[in-house]
Amino acid sequence: MITAIFPAAGKGKRMGASFNKVFAALSDKPILIHTLVSFSRCSLVDNFVVVAAPEEAEAVSKVLKAIPGIKPCKVVIGGTERQYSVYNGLMSVPAAADIILVHDAARPLISPAVIKNVIDEVKRSEAAVAAVPVTNTIKVINNENFVINTPDRKTLWMMQTPQGFSKDLLMKAYEQARSDNFLGTDDASLIEHIHHPVKIVMGDYKNIKITSPDDLIFAEAILGKKAVSKVKSELSSAISNAFEDMKTKLLRTRL
């Protein structure tokens, strides 16, 4: 069984919002709903655990029950840090789950193909994360903002989610982190902390995490392009069908 955990207890500080950013509207629906619907398109995932802020958990639960087409979903209360929230979610996954995916609730443009590729790699290596190569030159600086190093771009990747792991491995990593009072930047860093290799899986540059108003504009543009493409596809199909009908009529006229 494969369970996906969605940490969704954050706030909208960088969005300049007074509310949780996952409730911001994206094409007339909250970002969180887009994310869960997108994830539900992957047939390999069986169920969801959404980790919400204490004051939002009840409302989130009611909303999700009313949304058609999403996987079975449980809502649990999050902690003061993302890592603590994921741990709470991990404590709530079904006993039968053997693979856990952790995905940012604010990444609504995830594709089923990327999800599947992460799952396939987890089955081989127990730990896999979606990521994309860095395209810009990166500089390492000192405390005075002077450049001290330019790392090779070929070795640099931008981490995304989903990040997937065997449940036993992820549990071990989280328990060790708690024991060591270690706070990682993502789930992969906890796996690295126990010296287990993590495999990179090619992600998608469109799979952005919405953290600012500019990100929201970009996401709207991506969804708009999809809508335009769908219209163009339907129009092309209609034109093709019209030509076929016309050819049929001409043949009948000649006969």
List the CATH number of the domain containing 114: 3.90.550.10
Q: What pLDDT score was predicted for residue 62?
A: 87
Q: Which pTM does this prediction carry?
A: 0.84
**Co-location of 106 and 49 in the same domain:** yes
Q: Are residues 107 and 21 in the same domain?
A: yes
Residue ending a domain, among 178, 194, 209, is 209
pLDDT of 213 reads: 87
Give 10-61 as a DSSP string: ---TTTT-SS-GGGSEETTEEHHHHHHHHHHT-TT--EEEEEE-TTTHHHHH
- Residues 224 and 205 grouped into a single domain: no
Q: How many domains does the chain have?
A: 2
Give the per-residue pLDDT at 225: 60
Which tokens is 224 given? 């708009």
Question: What pLDDT is stored for residue 153 in this prediction?
Answer: 93
Same domain, 22 and 148: yes
What's the longest Cα–Cα distance across the chain? 86
Residue 228 structural domain: 212-255
Q: Does residue 244 share a domain with residue 151?
A: no
Identify the pLDDT of residue 237: 53
Q: What is the pLDDT of residue 232?
A: 45
User: Are 185 and 239 found together in one domain?
Assistant: no
Burial class, 131, CB count within 10 angstroms (exposed 0-12 / middle 13-18 / buried 19+): buried
Same domain, 156 and 230: no
What are the residues facing 76 on neighbouring strands? Answer: 51
- Check residue 17 and give its pLDDT: 54
Which two three-digit tokens encode residue 105?
């609730």
Classify 76 as helix, strand or coil: strand
Regarding whether 217 and 203 lie in a shared domain, the answer is no
pLDDT number for residue 245:
53
Residues 103 and 135 in one domain: yes
56 and 121 assigned to the same domain = yes
Mean pLDDT for back-to-back runs of 10 residues, the chain (255 residues):
93 57 85 94 97 92 86 95 96 97 96 98 98 96 97 96 98 98 97 98 96 89 65 47 51 53
